[in-house]
């Protein structure tokens, strides 16, 4: 097995084709080589978050050119506050100026917000061109870069305009995480730890036991944990590509209230992973009040989240505004929220019969 095969975390099988997710340390130089293996031969249009400019972006561009790809670069400052149609229009105009064709490739380099927006651009430009994700935040690596979800925000809610558009390749260089601010890293661990709580008790044990090593990105264990998180998401996406069943919905553990917290507090007040962490605590309280789990597991979840520097409360927010915001949840069916709730360590399910008073009580527990 060569080094590239050792770095393979998952092969995702979808109706739009199969693609590889490659995870390793200092592998950005392999980007052109990995892209060439997909058989794509067009020009490469690299859209990068300005935080990646100039050095990581230059390495990616040089790697693409070594792979034989004519490469063009657009660096943008992208955040939740401008993840909108106006920013999409900026990218559209750049693509139009360069006469981008369906045979070309758009490469998204940055965090989850960049991937969401650039993925949406790729899904809609000429009714769909190939996209490659090079996520540079932990949250994007273990979650948003995999599965083809793209989207932008409007005033009503987050990611309400979007499309499923699967990438042709995902390349994750863990070395990019070494320069991330501590707060960004903590927010990313929320999505990884989530996988342990809902689907893999052994992974949860690893996150609990090796928190200090994980946070320091020390040695091979953090890389292996990221690969395992990627594999978990890959298995679910392959089984439920369009979130039509209940299995992929499990990945939204903590997100119903998490998205509401982001909206009510103002996008950017809480990072996505921070809001999800608080949302996980609400979901755990709901499960406890329904008799699905005991208080010990709720407390265990709190301790694990706090060990990664994550918040477990959002003091001062309004309970009625949060409840109202949850009603825009994209996982709802016939106006009823499908709550993702724990049944035990590494085991979750969905419930649509949660009484309003239990939801209110659980939300109050994290805002007061």
- Summarised one tens digit per residue, pLDDT across range 90-116 is 999 999 999 999 999 999 999 999 999
Catalytic choice (55, 99, 127, 357):
127
Catalytic choice (59, 158, 272, 285):
272
**pLDDT score of 80:** 87
Catalytic choice (20, 259, 263, 285):
259
- E strand spans, the chain: 8-14, 17-24, 44-49, 71-76, 105-110, 130-135, 149-154, 157-164, 169-173, 339-344, 347-351
Other Cβ atoms less than 10 A from the Cβ of 357: the count is 9
> In the annotation, is 248 catalytic?
yes
Instruction: Give the residue extent of every domain in the chain.
Output: 3-179, 182-367
> In the annotation, is 184 catalytic?
no
Is it the case that residue 334 has pLDDT exceeding 70?
no
Which one is predicted more confidently, 77 or 332?
A: 77
> In the annotation, is 13 catalytic?
no
Q: Count Cα atoms within 13 angstroms, Cβ side, for 20.
A: 18
Is it the case that residue 1 has pLDDT exceeding 50?
no
Which one is predicted more confidently, 90 or 51?
A: 90
Of 202, 204, 138, nearest in space to 176 by CA: 138
> In the annotation, is 127 catalytic?
yes
Rounded CA-CA distance 103/233 in Å is: 28
> In the annotation, is 327 catalytic?
no
Fold of 3-179: Rossmann fold (3.40.50)
Rounded CA-CA distance 116/124 in Å is: 12
Question: What are phi and psi for residue 54, nearest 5 degrees?
Answer: -105, -25
> In the annotation, is 241 catalytic?
no
Say if strands 44-49 and 17-24 run parallel, antiparallel, or are unpaired: unpaired
Q: Angle at which helices 272-289 and 295-307 pack, to 10 degrees?
A: 170
> In the annotation, is 331 catalytic?
no
> In the annotation, is 243 catalytic?
yes
CA trace torsion 243, 313, 180, 329 (10° rounding):
20
Domain 182-367 sits in CATH 3.40.50.2300: no
> Which residue's entry shows tokens 């264990």?
221
> In the annotation, is 252 catalytic?
yes
Cα dihedral 215, 221, 227, 231 sign: negative
What is the per-residue pLDDT across 201-255, written as a single tens digit (0 to 9) for each?
A: 999 999 999 999 999 999 999 999 999 999 999 999 999 999 888 788 999 999 9
Catalytic choice (165, 233, 263, 285):
233
> In the annotation, is 333 catalytic?
no
Kindly report the average pLDDT of the chain as a whole number: 95
Rounded CA-CA distance 219/212 in Å is: 12
């Amino acid at each position: 097995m060569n080094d590239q095969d050792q770095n393979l975390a998952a092969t995702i099988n979808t109706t739009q084709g199969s693609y590889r997710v490659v995870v390793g340390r200092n592998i950005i130089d392999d980007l052109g080589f990995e892209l060439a293996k997909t058989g794509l031969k067009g020009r490469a249009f690299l859209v990068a978050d300005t935080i990646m400019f100039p050095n990581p972006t230059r390495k990616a561009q040089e790697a693409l050119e070594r792979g034989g790809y004519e490469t063009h670069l657009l660096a943008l400052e992208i955040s939740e506050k401008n993840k909108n149609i106006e920013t999409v229009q900026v990218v559209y105009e750049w693509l139009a100026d360069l006469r981008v064709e369906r045979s070309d490739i758009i490469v998204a380099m940055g965090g989850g917000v960049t991937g969401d927006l650039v993925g949406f651009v790729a899904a809609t430009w000429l009714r769909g061109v190939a996209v490659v994700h090079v996520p540079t935040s932990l949250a994007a690596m273990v979650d948003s870069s995999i599965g083809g979800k793209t989207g932008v925000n409007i005033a009503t809610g987050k990611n309400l305009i979007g499309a499923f558009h699967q990438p042709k390749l995902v390349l994750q260089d863990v070395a990019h995480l070494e320069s991330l601010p501590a707060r960004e890293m903590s927010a990313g661990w929320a999505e990884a730890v989530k996988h342990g709580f809902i689907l893999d008790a052994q992974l949860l044990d690893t996150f609990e036991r090796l928190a200090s090593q994980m946070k320091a990105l020390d040695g091979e264990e953090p890389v292996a944990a990221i690969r395992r998180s990627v594999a978990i998401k890959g298995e679910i996406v392959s089984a439920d590509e369009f979130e039509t069943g209940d299995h992929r919905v499990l990945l939204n553990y903590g997100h119903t209230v998490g998205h509401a917290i982001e909206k009510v507090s103002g996008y950017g007040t809480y990072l996505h992973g921070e809001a999800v962490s608080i949302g996980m605590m609400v979901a755990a309280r709901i499960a406890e009040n329904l008799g699905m789990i005991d208080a010990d597991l709720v407390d265990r979840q709190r301790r694990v989240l706090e060990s990664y520097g994550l918040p477990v409360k959002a003091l001062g927010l309004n309970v009625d505004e949060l409840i109202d915001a949850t009603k825009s949840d994209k996982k709802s069916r016939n106006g009823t929220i499908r709550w993702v709730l724990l049944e035990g360590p590494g085991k979750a399910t969905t419930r649509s019969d949660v009484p309003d008073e239990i939801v209110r009580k659980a939300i109050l527990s994290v805002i007061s």
